[in-house]
Chain A
Amino acid sequence: MAKGKIPPEFLVERDDYKCVRCLACVRLCSYGANYYDENAKRVYTENRKCVGCHFCEAMCPTEAITVMRNPFEIKPLAHWTSEHLIDIMKQAETGGVLLTSMGNDRPYFSYFDRIVLNASQVTNPSIDPLREPMEVRTYLGRKQMKLDLEEDEEGRVLLKTEIAPQLKLEVPVMFSAMSYGSISLNAMLSLAEAAKTVGTYFNTGEGGLPKELKRYGSNMIVQVASGRFGVNVDYLNAGSAVEIKIGQGAKPGIGGHLPGEKVTEAISETRMIPVGTDALSPAPHHDIYSIEDLRQLIYAIKEATRYEKPVGVKIAAVHNVAPIAAGMVRAGADYIVIDGIRGGTGAAPKVTRDHVGIPIEFAVAVVDQRLREEGIRHMASVVVAGGIRNSADVIKAIALGADAVYIGTAALVALGCHLCQRCYLGKCNWGIATQDPKLTKRLNPEIGARRLVNLLRAWEHEIKEILGGMGINAIESLRGNRDMLRGVGLHEYELKLLGIKPAGEAW
């Protein structure tokens, strides 16, 4: 049967009047989509090569370029959309699993968008966050049900209970685990520097620790995943906390695979594997087949780090998330990370990314509730990840019961990412998801850090605005304060799971 060409996804339109033939677009496209025709003295694009990263559009000094979606549709069918047809064609041609990157883009219902926030009117004053103190500092780690105090001979009250190690966040937003390999060193440096400036944490991901990041230890969480890349005792002790990764929202239940050709000299050094070998992260940790095995690993890490660092455990939000979370806490996790169905990734099978897991809004609500019911909520902090897009999502997540959130995609977007979903190709024009030195240098970590700091500071301001509006001046008064939330257009069972009332209902 005849092979049909799959139509280009994007069209790159160029206003020839505006084009000054600077050829920046030609020089800069890593996919080689743009070219210059000497004879015609004009610049053209091979649309089929365009992935829609918008880099040329952003760089064009005269705004001559517009990258747009190809309005072409095979047929306007509601069920058999062009996307499905094209996927089928690709698979019919290759016989392969569809690969994709970044977060779930199916139009699942966003519960964050159906939750509204409260504000003070008359009965209590709202607080001006710019002028009055407004505190968003958050500590992650094991807390006590009861602190024992004692009095010394001078009558001063002293703390008797020993406090478990904590992570101190000046803003309750951290940067998600993204490994060296999946993102460039410059991207990591941007995250690290921003974390340091703002007073929060970034996460090395499972790819080991590039030496350039060692100096950011006091703002770093090191991750231990099934591949154990780059993991040794120095690594465990290099950061402020250790995070065991069981799963991630984009691909619950499956592992990772960094192809050998991407294992460069530098990656080899940090992953501690020979240059050119495949870096395989198995789906499970092969020393964890059950909850008690998790406990064993947690305590092995605690031993190795002399109980000086919080140990966290990250899982994907799946159907049974609440009991699993409770088990993790009882197994000794000082903080747990729940990554929802919209979590991002460098590469995942499309079918997994788009169809496995549950929305984070439910996950955090049921986990928080379950831990409270079991009386162990204080034993671990809850960090929420997976599709946090703005400060409102942060606020809602915290009010639903999170202590802090992780952002990955949002951070990458701040660095330039346009979600073209082609990270797995390693040719990221924005210099983020690539190791090509020609491309990585496009991300200047000074600019990157500045943009991330701006983002976090902006969110911080917004969080403070909202807190002030609610008449509270400390984030702990928001944490789990579901009274501040109301659902709009949600069913009763959804409201029940979220633990919130419908809009219109008073206290």
Chain B
Amino acid sequence: MIGVRKILIREEYCMGCKLCEINCVAAQVGTENLIKIFRYVPELPEPKVIVEEHDYITFALQCRNCYDASCLKACMTGAMHRDPRTGAITVNEEKCVGCWMCVMVCPFGVVKRNVKKKKVASKCDLCAERGSPACVEGCPNEALVLIEVRE
């Protein structure tokens, strides 16, 4: 039984501003200063959070870090693993060979292909480096909330 940190998605409060996406990008670049990022980083990474939108329903979606995670089962290289520290499922880019099995099985469709450098699977790791997820921190309406779940 482990305490797993999770991002709770509350579509009833998501206003679709997509600030989570730009905060995610900023977190990946590694600075909080959006203006600098926008001005000086030549090729911005893709956000690891997806805002889905249809009519008034909007919500931001990122890896759910499932307990019984499909991507963990599908990964044949061991690149996809659970970070024992954060409980987040994380990709070891060294090991990933880009077979896209994880992409194929994630029922949330939140594992993406990153083909900018080496082809690797790319997914939210709850901002393991940063400490707390940038999308959650930046959400103006607490439509994303970090919670700890006891499994």
Contact = CB atoms under 8 A, between A and B. Distances in A.
Q: Do chains A and B touch in the complex (CB under 8 A)?
A: yes
Contacts of B15: 28, 431, 438, 441-442
20 contacts: A17-B35, A20-B35, A22-B18, A22-B21, A24-B19, A27-B17, A27-B18, A59-B19, A59-B140, A61-B22, A62-B34, A62-B35, A431-B15, A436-B56, A438-B15, A438-B16, A441-B15, A441-B141, A444-B141, A447-B142
A24 B38 CA distance: 15
B121 interface: no
Interface string B1-25: 0000000001011111111011100
A443 B12 CA distance: 10
Contacts of A444: 10, 13, 141-143
Contacts of A438: 15-16, 55-56
Interface in B21-43: 21-23, 34-35, 37-39
Nearest to A58: B140
Contacts of B23: 61
Contacts of A293: none
A431 B55 CA distance: 16
Given A437-B56, A441-B56, A444-B13, A24 B18 contact: yes
What is the size category of the interface that chain B forms with chain A? Answer: 20 to 34
B17 A24 contact: yes
A494 interface: no
B23 to A, nearest CB: 8
Interface in A23-40: 23-24, 27-28
Interface string A265-308: 00000000000000000000000000000000000000000000
Contacts of A18: 35
B141 A22 contact: no
Interface string B115-151: 0000000000000000000000010111100000000
Given A24-B18, A28-B16, A447-B141, 5 more contacts: A17-B35, A24-B19, A59-B140, A438-B16, A441-B13
A21 interface: yes
